[in-house]
Chain A
Amino acid sequence: MATLSATVDELIEAYGPHLSFEPPGGFANRGAVDRRVETHCCFCGQQCGVKLLVKDEKVVGVEPWEEFPFNRGKLCPKGVKRYLQNNHRDRLLHPLVRTGRGFARIPWDEALDLVAERFERLQRAHGRDSVAVLSGASLTNEKAYLMGKFARLAVGTRHIDYNGRLCMVAAGAANLKAFGIDRAANPWADIAATDLILVVGANVSECSPITTDYIWRARDRGARLIVIDPRLTPIARTSDLYLPVRPGRDSALMNAILHEVVRLGGVDHEFIAQHTSGFEELQRTIAHYAPESVAQEVGIPARRIVEAAQMWVQAPRTMLLHARGIEHHTKGVENVLSCINLVLATGKIGKPGCGYATITGQGNGQGAREQGQRCNQLPGARDVENPQHRAVVAERWGVPESRIPAKGASAPEIIEMSHRGEIRGLLSMCFNPLVSLPDASFTRAALERLDFYVAIDFFLSETARHADLVLPGSLQEEDEGTVTNVEGRVLRLRKAVEPPGEARPDWQIICDLARRFGAGEHFAFSGPAAVFDELRRLSAGAVADYSGITYDKIDRQMGVFWPCPDDDHPGTPRLFEGGRFAHADGRARFHAVEYRPPAEEVDAEYPIILTTGRVVSQFLSGTQTRRIGPLVAHQPEPFVEMHPRLAAKLDVADGDRVRVVSRRGVLVLTAQVVATIRPDTVFIPYHWPGERSANRLTLRAYDPIAKIPEFKVSAVRIEKIAAHAGRTGALPRFAAAEASEP
């Protein structure tokens, strides 16, 4: 029943995206402000400190917060203009119910009753697990905790998962396997203090711009930089060594670098003997990965692989950083493990200026993966399938253990199950899967099959357009709470203004809904501070131990790194000091990884590799940043980036319109011909919906462990669209998709 109830144009007219360029009242009338609220950016996992300027109870601007130690006032353009999301004409101000023609206002009480009534009806008819909850990693720790508890105790479904499934899960699963804990091993200050930085699949300058500063501070001291990426990104341009890897070959390349490190005698045998297990098997595996034997497959001359190994061995201290470039793969976990193997085999971890981190992407990418809103996880990063963990949580929640449902489906699986009709009801918060999941046409069909879909959000995202009921929640600056940044540093978000209209803080919506599901006794919170108090106590003794963290301590210390197990504990900026890892025996684990090809290889029909990613001026599915005028002006439309050699073969010139065709769909885009990408690969940024959605081309292939999609490798062909009118060539198979709604 969830097909659109109005045309896309009508929905855009009513709910946007429209562009905001100026503070309320315009720049000319901004004048002196009433207060400056020290808080953090609402976008990526760096969580830069920023002061929001408030006048007449409206957010009117931004001032750098130079005292905050992580970013010292530095910001990317998103951080500078993020304030324009407030006072936005698209802001959802009232609960909305679907009508035959668009949406109509509905009172809060009726809206909340409707959710409980429709979910309970579905659950009576089709079982408790016929409804699902999809949550987000931009939510505070408090909200993430509430969402997990709400799904399990109030709704009573096993199916709760979050959009971190598209972000951190491959790194998280690999870290857990190797180290027994899922957190950046080092504080970012260690990047500035190292001798060699190896960046693997991370477009640092565009996706985590503040990290650029740490890298340059190291280079100012003489550190060297190696970048592995199919695209010559801004941070790669000045690197000491650049390895333009063919998309999907990362584990083979990392195995080859380690092979060469072993040959050079760069292995730390003492560290391996004392602090690890599994090296013998790894050694047998990597014996087959001599640089010259993998060079053709990985697309890099053997001598450059050797050079990377030499630089790694020569550097006393190293920092290996990776991100979605190696994680968005059907072997995302294996790619990450192949990086960790290099770090462990050389003993380069757990020391000042020496270690390893994944660059977490989403605002609370770290914290939101610890508080129990993942399908396989309970608060404190506990395992929902571990009987002891279940018992502890049940006891502290005051419920029988049987009340906690078993492991549920991951976010992509929830969409697949919705498509199959196994899931019939959905509640989502801050997740826009229609733009962010692969194979967007399939996602849309899945949404259309739902019997009842309720979306909690601040703007009507493309996904929320399909909802039966829309509940206006809060923007980041309209509520209190904590987030945990890329380093594992827990930070405070401070409320700058109240939610407008009838919009409400998300935590209140969830608690009110819980009461309607008859679970009110477990949701009697007076506010975010009370939720934090429960979650930190519940995390005591778990891996992600927040029990010694308080709002006051965060204020005093400008953040607290977990684990922080008691009131007097200052927090733990650096993990694994002295070679002590989080597995029960204190040892880290090597995992031998055999390279295997991506799910979809290029062939004669689809001969070009497509890889997708981001641009600096947009954030993820764009629900916020596609409404901020100055950011949209930087990059109004997606494009397809291709090398001049490929362009010449296709007879395409810079600025030409081309058709990019995959087995899933077709997009018409403008070609950007640049010599800064591999000639066998094209790139499309994915922030846009509908006919501009890169995810109409990507495929539903997932990592078997982490269930992260393979966004970084699809096979496509590209057809030039003739400049003259009346071209009659064969239409692509998916031409129909072009005419359908965004």
Chain B
Amino acid sequence: MIHDLFIDANRCIGCRACVEACSECPSHGGQSMIHLDFLDRTQTVQTAPTVCMHCVDPSCAAVCPADAIKIDDNGVVMTAMPERCIGCGNCSLACPFGVPQLHVEIDLMMKCDLCYDRTSAGLKPMCATVCPSGALYYGTRDEIEDLRRTRATNTFAFGDAAVSTRNHLMAPAGTASIHIHDGAGHSGRGLSRAEQQLGEALC
């Protein structure tokens, strides 16, 4: 039984243990299939791990001209088949979450396949096993909602486009769906309480 990944970027400490652990997975050949982003290091230490959300109706697979991205019976969106991938990069452009990364040197798209060789054998993915802050968690929705005050959501609205995913983001209770806007009309993010308190420092 393959469970789901739950991502709580609020807990992420930017250590990259997930990225390094991913590269140690026996089938990854030293290559990490996930990445870690500093959102805006000038302003904040906030970081976020980016793993594949495994969309129910993945646009990466839909736009692939070579039909290289397959979805298995468990709903896991697999990394591109090397013999088919033509390295066009359509998938990278189409993914609403910015997940697939094109490796131009080998003309191949690579992305998280939910640690298929581990999870299908009853193990947890490397990233969620090592994550020291719980920003990545592998298990069931009931388990994580029992442990935490945040709630899992797996429906997103990118403008008018609705996307539902196998993996979940953790959000404050009462968040039914996450709406992502194009940024127009927004003046940037708000400051956290601690960031405001740093602004009060007497120098």
Contacts and interface: CB of A to CB of B under 8 A. Distances in A.
Interface of A: 21-22, 26-28, 30, 61-62, 64, 66, 71, 73-77, 79-81, 205-206, 209-210, 212-213, 216-217, 220, 222, 227, 232-244, 246, 295-296, 299-301, 304, 616-617, 630, 634, 644, 654, 672-676, 678-680
Interface of B: 10-17, 19-21, 23-24, 26, 28-30, 41-47, 124, 126, 129-134, 147-149, 192-195, 197-198, 200-203
A237 B38 CA distance: 14
B134 to A, nearest CB: 5
A683 B187 CA distance: 30
Contact of A80 (B130, B193, B194): B130
Nearest to B202: A299
A222 B150 CA distance: 11
Nearest to A239: B194
A674 B39 CA distance: 13
A22 B31 CA distance: 11
A73 B12 CA distance: 17
Contacts of B193: 239-242
A708 to B, nearest CB: 26
A205 B130 contact: no
Contact of B202 (A66, A212, A217, A300): A300
B131 to A, nearest CB: 7
A524 B193 CA distance: 61
Contacts of A239: 193-194
Given A237-B45, A237-B46, 8 more contacts: A64-B126, A77-B16, A77-B19, A232-B195, A233-B45, A234-B13, A675-B42, A676-B43
Given A237-B192, A239-B193, A73 B41 contact: no
Nearest to A61: B24
Contacts of B17: 74-77, 79-80, 209
Contacts of B132: 71, 74-76, 209-210, 212-213
B13 A235 contact: yes
7 contacts: A26-B30, A209-B15, A216-B11, A222-B149, A234-B12, A238-B10, A674-B42
Consensus secondary structure, chain B interface = loop
Nearest to A678: B201
A205 B133 contact: yes
A21 B11 CA distance: 29
A698 to B, nearest CB: 22
Contact of B42 (A61, A235, A238, A644): A644
A206 B203 contact: no
B133 A679 contact: no
Contact of B14 (A74, A234, A236, A299): A234
Given A30-B26, A209-B132, A210-B132, A634 B13 contact: no
Contacts of B24: 61-62, 80
A242 B197 contact: yes
Nearest to B41: A674
A518 to B, nearest CB: 49
Nearest to B131: A74
Contacts of A674: 41-43, 45
B197 A244 contact: yes
A305 to B, nearest CB: 11
B13 A205 contact: yes
B20 A676 contact: no
A673 B203 contact: no
Contacts of B148: 220
Given A30-B26, A674-B41, A679-B203, A206 B129 contact: no
A246 B148 CA distance: 34
Contact of A678 (B43, B44, B124, B203): B203
Given A216-B134, A674-B42, A22 B198 contact: no
A235 B192 CA distance: 12
B197 A243 contact: yes
Contact of B130 (A73, A227, A234, A296): A73
Contacts of B44: 237, 675-676
A75 B129 CA distance: 8
Contacts of B46: 237
A205 B15 contact: yes
Nearest to A28: B29
Given A75-B21, A75-B130, A300-B202, A212 B194 contact: no
Contacts of A232: 45, 194-195, 198
A232 B19 CA distance: 24
A30 B27 CA distance: 10
A213 to B, nearest CB: 5
Contact of A675 (B29, B43, B129): B43
Contacts of B195: 232, 237, 675-676
A81 B20 CA distance: 7
Nearest to A609: B203
Nearest to A48: B132
Which of A77, A644, A673 has most chain B Cβ within 10 Å?
A77
A238 B11 CA distance: 8
Contacts of B134: 213, 216-217
B47 to A, nearest CB: 7
Given A61-B24, A75-B21, A232-B195, A216 B203 contact: no
Contacts of B42: 644, 654, 673-675
Given A27-B30, A74-B129, A80 B20 contact: yes
Given A206-B13, A209-B15, A234-B13, A304 B133 contact: no
Contact of B201 (A76, A300, A634, A644): A300
Contacts of B20: 77, 80-81, 630
B149 A66 contact: no
A243 B199 CA distance: 11
Contacts of B11: 212, 216, 238
A679 B201 CA distance: 8
B114 to A, nearest CB: 17
A81 to B, nearest CB: 6
Which of B126, B132, B149 has most chain A Cβ within 10 Å?
B132
A672 B41 CA distance: 9
Given A30-B26, A678-B201, A64 B14 contact: no
Contacts of B14: 205, 234, 616
Contacts of A74: 17, 129-132
A238 B15 contact: no
Contacts of B124: 66, 73
Given A237-B44, A678-B201, A617 B133 contact: no
Contacts of A678: 198, 201, 203
